[in-house]
Amino acid sequence: MKALWKGSISFGLVYIPIRLYSGTQSHRIELDMVRQKDKCQIQYVRVCKKDGKEVPWEDIAKGYRKENGDYIIIDKSDFDKISPEKSDSIDIFEFIKEEEIPSKYLEKPYILEPEKSAKKVYALLREALRKSEKVGLCKFVMRTTQHLGILKVEEDAILLIQIRFNDELRDPDEAGLIPKDISITKKELDMAMSIIDQLTETFDPSKYKDTYKDELIKMIKAKAKAKPGKQPATSTRKRKTPAAKDDLLEQLKASLAAIKN
């Protein structure tokens, strides 16, 4: 596994040299865009909207569009002036209870591995976090961008979980149709609670797999073996659509009956 970043955790006056690894991996199958009739791969080029001519990379700049359609050019020196100071440190500035952080703020996990010389101090921070039942709120700079995160213990590792800044989140009321003053009867609520009770399980992430990816690979292999001009036999699965009912209580009763069966 290749480290994405090297630096240190700043914990008071203590520095813990670490390597940072991505805590996730993608299993996405890459598909190329091709011309259907001859399987020629499609190539994208950068062209000017005004004259249709291709623009080489060295002639491309970044621009902010004003209301009148004109552009203000932003060059490298402009970005350098406002970029956060480069830092190789994950700076813990306070400790908080993890449950105080709403799940909507959690964004991306990273694994932190200590350098050989820092194993003991890494273990010390890990055990202190575990015993305090708290996480370290921290700031760090990656690829010229400042991020907010938490350091938390997961088994024997310290994880860095990148979290979103408050102004990155949208207010749910922007959706416009969030129900507020809706009357719910006790019978309806009791029935809904019964459905939740019936479907309650202990979370086991190993039970859940990306079945679409498996089906896609199976289909690709079948098409590769098929004779030219012939399509392999496939089974089309249709999702059952429940009949529309106006009576909410009847829908809840039907749901419970389906679960028990």
Beta strands in the chain (DSSP E): 5-11, 14-22, 34-35, 40-41, 62-65, 71-74, 89-96, 106-114, 135-142, 145-154, 157-163
Provide the token pair at 196: 């939740």
| Confidence band, pLDDT 50/70/90 cuts, at residue 130 | very high
On the question of pLDDT at 72 being above 80, the answer is yes
Is 23 within 8 Å of 109 (Cβ atoms)? yes
Distances (CA, A) of 94 to 88, 129, 136, 149, 245: 19, 12, 6, 11, 52
Q: What integer best gives the mean pLDDT of the chain?
A: 86
| Confidence band, pLDDT 50/70/90 cuts, at residue 181 | confident
Q: Which amino acid is at 24?
A: T
On the question of pLDDT at 88 being above 90, the answer is no
The segment with the largest mean pLDDT, out of 28-32, 123-127, 215-219, is 123-127
| Confidence band, pLDDT 50/70/90 cuts, at residue 113 | very high
Is 139 within 8 Å of 91 (Cβ atoms)? yes
On the question of pLDDT at 212 being above 80, the answer is no
Between CA 81 and CA 20 the distance in angstroms is 27
Q: How far apart are the first and last CA of the chain?
A: 46
Q: What is the pLDDT of residue 135?
A: 96
Higher confidence at residue 78 or residue 155? 155
Q: Which amino acid is at 103?
A: S
**Locus of tokens 């203590």:** 14
On the question of pLDDT at 43 being above 70, the answer is yes
On the question of pLDDT at 86 being above 80, the answer is no
> What DSSP character marks residue 24?
-
Q: What burial letters (b/e) apply to 64-87, b meaning 16+ CB within 10 Å?
A: eeeeeeeeeeeeeeeeeeeeeeee
